[in-house]
Amino acid sequence: MNYQSLVIVTNKGLTNNVFKYADDIGPYCGSVVTGRGSGSSGNKKMFPVQWEPEKEIVFLISPEADTEERIKKIADKVKLTAPGNGILFGFAIKRVHGFSKPT
């Protein structure tokens, strides 16, 4: 079976929505790490201090057959086309161990 890796960078607090919409499609594996934004559209200045918004980075492994539907649903529901809401990208995975469809 072929798999895709999806990386979704969103504003902090939106990862529950990402997992909710990813779960609607079918089986996947996922993890979250935190980070901070570096894009110019999200950075604000308060007094002399530059404020960088906190981000969450979601890593999903998805069966290739489910990937396009999963991407469309996540991008639509999390509104990734709006400026500053995040970014989603994916790439093919050559090999996966430890991922199996639920029985």
- Domain map (residue ranges) of the chain: 3-88
CATH of domain 3-88: 3.30.70.120
For residues 36-43, give the mean pLDDT: 59
Calpha distance 2→53 (Å, rounded): 35
Q: Is the pLDDT of residue 14 over 90?
A: no
Who's near 76: CB < 8 A, 6+ residues apart?
none
CB 85 within 8 A of CB 11: yes
Q: Is the pLDDT of residue 67 over 60?
A: yes
For residues 66-77, give the mean pLDDT: 90
User: pTM to 2 decimals?
Assistant: 0.75
Q: Return mean pLDDT, the chain.
A: 80
Beta-bridge mates of residue 8: 58, 88
CB 14 within 8 A of CB 78: yes
Residue 90: the pLDDT is: 92
Radius of gyration of the chain (CA): 15
